Every structure is written in C-alpha cells, then in structure tokens.
Amino acid sequence: MPLGLRGKKKAAKSKETARLVEGERSGVREGVPGPPAPARRLVFHAQLAHGSATGRVEEFSSIQELYAKIAGVFEIEPSEILFCTLNTPRIDMAKLLGGQLGLEDFIFAHVKGIKKEVNVYKSEDSLGLTITDNGVGYAFIKRIKDGSTIDSVKTICVGDHIECINGENIVGWRHFEVAKKLKELKKEELFTLQLIEPKKAFEIGPRSKAGKTSTEKIGTSRGTLRLRSKGPATVEELPSEAKAKAIEKVDDLLELYMGIRDIDLATTMFEAGKDKSNPDEFAVALDETLGDFAFPDEFVFDVWGAIGDVKQGR
C-alpha cells in the first residue's frame, strides 16, 4: 500500500477517534440522540394549619399519597388529616384542596381536634348544609346556609368532620352519600351528630420568620398539578377564563339539582364533555366515569349547555 494513502487513512482514523472521544466526553455520539431531559421535580411546602415548622413534600400522585407524605414530614398518622387548604391556614372552603394543586401553592393541613356530640331537631326538610369530602373517607361541612336549621346550632361549624349520624359510623362514605343520609332523616325528630372539629391555633401571629408569606403567592402559579385516583399526576396549564366560568356554572348546577357543591366533580364533568359532539355522547361518558351519581336528564342537558357555551366562545 502506498505510504501516502496509509498516512491519510491513519490521519482520518485519528480524526474519527478524536471525534468519538469528544462525543463520549460530552455524553453524545454523533448521529445518536442524547438521553431525555430529566422529569421536572415538583416540591411543595406545607405546614400544619394550627401551627408548625415548614416541611417539604414531593413525589405524590393522589390525595391519599399527599396526605401520607405530609403525615411523614410532621410525624403524625395520615388518618389525623381532615383536609387541606391552599395559601391560607384558615378554614376557608374557597381555598380547599381538591384534585388540583397550583405549582406554587403552599399547603396547610388541618388535623383532628376536639370531638363533640350534638343533638339537632329537624324542623325543616332541608338542614341547610353543604357536604364535601377529602377524597380519602372523611366527609365534612363545607357550607352552612344563613337562617337554616343547622345555622341555629352554634356548636356546628364549617370544617367539622361528620363521623357518625345517629350512632352509625360514616367514615369512608362519599359526600353525596352523607348528604342523602341527612336528607332521609325524618322531619320533626331529633337526630345526633358526632363531629370532629379541626384543631385550632392557640394564638394568632406570624407563621414564618423568613421570606414572603405563602398567601402573597396566590395567583402567581403558571400551572397546576392534577391529582388522580389512578395513574400518575399530570401538570396542566391553568384553565382559560371561559373554561373556569363553565366549571363554576357546572358547580352551581350541581348545587341546584343535587344539593352539593364540588369543584373537582364539576371539573371532571367538564373534562368528560369537552371533546364530545352531542349530549348523548356526553351522557355515555358521564355514565362511564360517574355512574354512581345517576344524574337526571335535565341536569345533563344543562351541563352540556354550559360546555357548549365554552366551545362556541360565548
């Protein structure tokens, strides 16, 4: 073989080897795609609502997993947590944690406090209660209507967990099951509620010495973490103004037809119908995802109308 050609081959091989070494140093070979970017690590800050140090929670996909993480940080049992609020330690049902969590939200966990037993005389068909639940078996009072039967019983408060009705333990029931049970109680008779109120702080004062307070972050998040009962949690963009209004309208319809308010249920219904082309497809989707509710046809049509308004830009 001519020497010149051998030299050129050696030089070419030397350059190729140099490129290979450089590629190995940088972690990327020529013509070979690099490794995928690491998944975004989501870390949230939390406190016990009655007062505690600040903890960090991460790697959860559901409410149940979140409660377990919070319990681990503060060395309590997950069953001690009644519910969580976002960006405020107060018992503010407008800030209640449901199936969505803003990426910059600060979590406050409300734990079990004083137990109490209350006798109530059902003077009207409606007690004036709105019930919700924490997604892991605890139903509690979300709203009390002014001037209602329950409003006259001052020991019953928003945030109280309903543990028993007339001695029957209802832990593990969904909120609509509890609402149905209360509705079926006979009029003009006494009934007994065993309640657990959230633990209260002994004093009001600054909750943290360093940095801005968590409440100053409200509205700054650019996305939400969508928690799911099955499968991994997903990060989603914040809903558009029209979508948010539609979900709020569905929540109003839930209260009108079903006697409950549940923004997460309203969101689930909206998501079930946003890609459907007619109310029949929407009704089928509702049966598949929320068949236990047995929604009346009039309610389904009204919800479909709210979703249609968003689709048509109204």
CB neighbours (10 Å) of residue 24? 10
Question: What pLDDT was estimated at residue 222?
Answer: 52
Q: At what angle do helices 241-258 and 297-311 cross, to 10 degrees?
A: 170
Structure tokens at 78: 């997950």
Average pLDDT for runs of 10 along the chain of length 314:
43 43 44 54 90 92 92 95 93 85 89 96 91 91 92 94 96 91 92 95 44 37 61 62 82 83 82 84 84 79 84 66
Question: What pLDDT was estimated at residue 23?
Answer: 42
271/114 Cα distance (integer angstroms): 39
Strand partners, 164: 169, 194
| H helical segments located in 194-262 | 241-258
254/262 Cα distance (integer angstroms): 8
Its CATH class, for the domain covering 43-198, is: mainly beta
Structure tokens at 113: 């406090």
Instruction: Evaluate whether 276 touches 301 at the Cβ level (below 8 Å).
Output: no
249/212 Cα distance (integer angstroms): 34
Instruction: Evaluate whether 252 touches 246 at the Cβ level (below 8 Å).
Output: no
Domain residues of the chain, as ranges?
A: 43-198, 239-312
Structure tokens at 3: 């020497």
Structure tokens at 167: 């001695």
Instruction: Evaluate whether 142 touches 131 at the Cβ level (below 8 Å).
Output: yes
280/293 Cα distance (integer angstroms): 17
List Cβ<8 Å contacts ≥24 apart for 181-185.
182/127, 182/129, 182/131, 183/125, 183/126, 183/259, 185/122
| Residue in 161, 157, 145, 150 with CA at minimum distance from that of residue 259 | 145
Question: What pLDDT was estimated at residue 226?
Answer: 63
Instruction: Evaluate whether 221 touches 297 at the Cβ level (below 8 Å).
Output: no
Question: What pLDDT was estimated at residue 69?
Answer: 95
Question: What pLDDT was estimated at residue 22?
Answer: 44
Question: What pLDDT was estimated at residue 202?
Answer: 59
| Residue in 132, 135, 141 with CA at minimum distance from that of residue 62 | 135
CB neighbours (10 Å) of residue 119? 9
Question: What pLDDT was estimated at residue 54?
Answer: 92
What pTM was computed for the model?
0.62
SS3 140: strand
